[in-house]
Amino acid sequence: MTPASLAAVKASADFAALGRQMHALVAELYPICRSITGEGLRATLRRVAQDTGLTIREVPSGTHVLDWTVPREWNIRDAWVANARGERVIDFRKSNLHVVNYSVPVRTRMTLSELRPRLHALPDRPDWIPYRTSYYSEDWGFCLAHNELARLPEATYDVVIDSSFESGSLSYGELFLPGSSRDEVLLSCHCCHPSLANDNLSGVALLTTLAQLLAKASRRLSYRFLFVPGTIGSITWLAANDDTVSRVRHGLTAACVGDAGPLTYKKTRRGDAEIDRAAQHVLKASGQPHRVAEFSPYGYDERQYNSPGFKLPVGSLTRTPHGQYREYHTSADDVGFVRPESLAGSLSAYLSVLAVLEGNERYRNTHPKGEPQLGKRGLYRAIGGEPDPGQLQMAMLWVLNQSDGGPALLDIAERAGLPFEQVRVAADVLVAHGLLEPVPPYPAGTIESHRQ
């Protein structure tokens, strides 16, 4: 059986069920204490591998990767602050956010005054535990709700962080789905955060399901999925994959795709890459509220992919962007903050964007002088004189008029003000009648688009 096109896979998908499936994966992964290295990260990758056939790669501590060095592997068993009666007033077992991620081992006794500089809380959101990290400096600390901190009596406390730093490895996951072209679409998410659901178990779940659907579809383009710890993970992959990098033609980082906010597309460094235009076309054609943000060198791993030594056209398709919702990087970003229907809507948008990339081919009109006579081919209504030719006939006329080997179908859809799918169908009909012939898409191996 020939695999279905991505558009067909999307058309037959049960998004309600897929939304529930993604939400269940978020809930399952939520309790794990992940970091940029260690067993929690590895366990998360193994779970994704069950569904997708992901390959887990291990890069030894100390490996030089671009300007960085893979850090020692961090693992943590327990951590607490206890009062004189041995009661834990801060307890890692209740939330792994209580410990500053990557804290060095500690076993000491301190007064509250001595401890206070190492306690992080949010006075403006007093019931929530903040998420803090100390990846690249030897440091430690605890995070707790402001109201809990306010209730702590001045006293002496036992302070324990039972963590370890050892020579080990950094883990990341990679999945490659080949297409008929070697041109690649890079789909990347960070999977290093501990118990934070939207940031970014939502992205992990979405790319897991997307990989499952793409595996079943016919593919013109090749797809590469990366599940990496933030920053150091993408840098590690970039450091070791020069050849692959040169084949990346489009990309997206997936994060914060499960909250109730509207979809937001953040552009690539170039701002006018094909992925930028495909994503904006899909969001606009959706008729739903959405936002488009300019590129900024802050955010997720698109920072690394868009660095000047790579300039990969990688955008980011999220719901509410990082830092713009109150629950961001707090204990309130929990499983309930993520909604099955939001995950499903995000997945649908990802599929639509990829369907545009798949279908955005270029053609040449084989009868470029005047219009070819559609009527004798059964492609035009028999009785003339009515004012409006109908959307499919308009799409055919646009495709014929524009297809001189220059504009691709997305260019034509945008100029015509028609949905991409309609233009894609018109092109299929015209190809079937010999009125269009394909032209090579773009110079092979170039990262920069053909547009000038």
Is 234 a binder of a second copy (CB under 8 A)? yes
Closest-CA residue to 398 (of 359, 365, 445, 441): 365
- Could you give the CA distance from residue 351 to residue 288 in angstroms, rounded to a whole number? 16
Q: Toward a second copy, which CB reaches closer, 138 or 154?
A: 138
Is 308 a binder of a second copy (CB under 8 A)? yes
Is 64 a binder of a second copy (CB under 8 A)? no
Helix axes 15-29, 202-216, angle to 10 degrees: 130
Find the shortest distance in angstroms from Cβ 47 to a second copy.
24
In the list 1, 2, 12, 67, the residue contacting a second copy (rule: CB under 8 A) is 67
- Could you give the CA distance from residue 204 to residue 194 in angstroms, rounded to a whole number? 13
Q: Toward a second copy, which CB reaches closer, 54 or 70?
A: 70
Q: What is the DSSP letter of 311?
A: -
**Regarding beta strands 184-190 and 156-166, do their DSSP bridges make them parallel or antiparallel, or are they unpaired?**
unpaired
Pattern 148-177, binding to a second copy, x per CB under 8 A? ------------------------------
Is 238 a binder of a second copy (CB under 8 A)? yes
Could you count the other beta carbons within 10 Å of the beta carbon of residue 124?
A: 7
Which range, of 153-161, 214-222, 320-328, 346-354, touches a second copy by CB under 8 A? 320-328
Which range, of 73-81, 104-112, 343-351, 368-376, touches a second copy by CB under 8 A? 368-376
Closest-CA residue to 144 (of 79, 85, 190, 191): 79
Is 68 a binder of a second copy (CB under 8 A)? yes
Is 61 a binder of a second copy (CB under 8 A)? no
Is 307 a binder of a second copy (CB under 8 A)? yes
Pattern 114-143, binding to a second copy, x per CB under 8 A? ------x---------xxxxxxxx-x-x--
CA 294 to chain centre: 17
CA distances from 417 to 267, 275, 360, 429 (A): 21, 18, 16, 19
Find the shortest distance in angstroms from Cβ 24 to a second copy.
27
Find all residues with CB under 8 Å of 182, minimum gap 6, and list them.
222, 247, 444
Find the shortest distance in angstroms from Cβ 398 to a second copy.
6
Q: Toward a second copy, which CB reaches closer, 178 or 406?
A: 406
Could you count the other beta carbons within 10 Å of the beta carbon of residue 243?
A: 7
254 conformational bin, left if phi > 0, alpha if psi -120 to 50, beta if neither: beta
In the list 44, 306, 318, 342, the residue contacting a second copy (rule: CB under 8 A) is 306
Q: Is 164 helix (H, G, I), strand (E, B) or coil?
A: strand
- Could you give the CA distance from residue 314 to residue 322 in angstroms, rounded to a whole number? 17
Per CB under 8 A, residues contacting a second copy are 66-68, 100-101, 120, 130-137, 139, 141, 231, 234-235, 238-239, 269, 296-298, 303-304, 306-311, 322-323, 328-329, 365, 367-373, 375-376, 382-389, 394, 397-398, 400-404, 416
